[in-house]
Amino acid sequence: MKLRAYVDQDAAATMSVFERAIRITASRDYTTEQINAWVSTGLDSLDALTWAAARAAAVTIVAVEDEQVVGFSDLVDGSLLDMLFVDPDVSRRGIGAALVGRIVCLARKGGACTLETYASLTSRPLFERFGFVIVDRCTPVVRGVAMTNFKMRLAL
């Protein structure tokens, strides 16, 4: 597995990872209604060009294995880790940790004092292993459906 910068040709692959990670991996922590609402925020209203523009507006890192995109994460505004998703076919193999590690390094190099994220129930343990602490338990409403996530912060 290697990490590299996102390129526009990664749009379809990262969209697929996003959907599969939510539908399969997060399904152990969220209801079907919550999963459908969550997926729709990223896919129903976006085409590949809009998705690519969002990734290009952030610093997006992709994980690639055998020439296939298997995960990705965004660093937004130098201090927000956003969009950490790993394909369920390669979960529990250190890809999420590698992505978080790279984003932490990029934030430090950029001069950030802290790094924040909004962690799902599914990803919270990974962030805790990196030393992120819960700042707030949040209940955003997504497409009319209440979700649970955690605002977390890491001192750099």
Residues 84-108 have pLDDT tens digits of: 999 999 988 999 999 999 999 999 9
Look at residue 133 and tell me whether its pLDDT is greater than 60: yes
Amino acid at 61: I
At residue 20, the pLDDT reads 95
Look at residue 54 and tell me whether its pLDDT is greater than 90: no
Report the topology of domain 2-112.
Aminopeptidase (3.40.630)
The CA-atom distances, in angstroms, between 116 and each of 27, 99, 112, 122 are 24, 15, 10, 17
Contact between residue 43 and residue 98 where contact means Cβ atoms under 8 Å apart: no
* Residue 88 in tokens: 């369920």
Confidence of residue 46 (pLDDT cuts 50, 70, 90): low
At residue 125, the pLDDT reads 96
First to last CA, the chain: 26
State whether residue 145 is helix, strand or coil: strand
- Residue 91 CA to residue 99 CA, distance in Å, equals 13
Contact between residue 81 and residue 100 where contact means Cβ atoms under 8 Å apart: yes
- pTM, two decimals, is 0.92
Mean pLDDT confidence for 102-129: 97
State whether residue 129 is helix, strand or coil: helix
At residue 44, the pLDDT reads 52
Mean pLDDT confidence for 37-51: 72
Tokens 């030393």 locate to 131
Contact between residue 71 and residue 95 where contact means Cβ atoms under 8 Å apart: yes
Mean pLDDT confidence for 46-69: 88
